[in-house]
Amino acid sequence: MPGLLLGDVFPDFEAETTYGKIKLHEFLGDSWGILFSHPRDYTPVCTTELGRAARMSSEFSKRNVKMIALSIDCLEDHHGWTKDILAYNCEESSCTSLPFPIIADSKRELAVALGMLDPVEKDQDGLPLTARCVFIIGPDKTLKLSLLYPATTGRNFDEILRVVDSLQLTAGRRLATPADWRPGDCVMVPPSMSEEEAASLFPGGIYTKELPSGKKYLRYTPLEETQQ
């Protein structure tokens, strides 16, 4: 069974969360969304990840991104574990709750439907745990990006923020961001764009790298303030 593909409308499920019952599309409204799963509550890597996500949440909300986490544990565990996450990661702040809800997918229904299970990591009953999935959903409710990490590898939330910046910058625009791009860096002209069109669309000028093939496809352009 193929999983969700880029461009698919993300399923509009209803779920129990630490913020009460949520319908995903209603919860997201006109915002971008990040749904991210973790294997299990009260585990070390997950504790660092949710803490990092909480500490970076203002950066995501500045970008109009709503976050929502998921694991196969129950609400009671989510609430109990939240205290540990806050104590370990947010000691100096006075926050008493996470800035995003956690879905309680105890029956693994969403995890199965969304292809989130890790076949290697199992619980004490031999059932698979959730892998570390990231789904980025656009305001049009379609899937813009997905990442899938095994339980044993914690994610880099700076990278998740970086890809949000790239997705938002390139949405509906004919440009692309190169490897390791950061906001403010030059962007790349897509290969389908003619030199004439590129010159008119990118007034900041185009730098074309000479290559052994002689082909002129490696084209950078600075992004003018007015274009951002």
State the pairing for strand pair 207-208/219-221.
antiparallel
DSSP code of residue 56? T
Q: Which residues contact 85 (CB under 8 A, 6 or more apart)?
A: 47, 50, 51, 54, 98
Cα(214)–Cα(173) distance, integer angstroms: 27
**Cβ of residue 29: shortest distance to ligand BEZ, in angstroms?**
31
* C-beta of 39 vs 51, nearer to ligand BEZ: 39
Our answer to whether residue 90 is catalytic in this structure is no
**Cβ of residue 99: shortest distance to ligand BEZ, in angstroms?**
20
**Torsion angle (degrees, nearest 10) of CA 88, 72, 2, 11:** -90
* C-beta of 43 vs 106, nearer to ligand BEZ: 43
Active-site residue, selected from the candidate residues 41, 46, 105, 133? 46
Active-site residue, selected from the candidate residues 8, 140, 158, 185? 140
Our answer to whether residue 74 is catalytic in this structure is no
* C-beta of 82 vs 166, nearer to ligand BEZ: 82
Q: Which residues bind ligand BEZ (CB under 6 A)?
A: 39-40, 43-46, 121, 129, 151-152
**Cβ of residue 120: shortest distance to ligand BEZ, in angstroms?**
9
The structure tokens 């185009």 sit at: 206
Active-site residue list: 46, 140
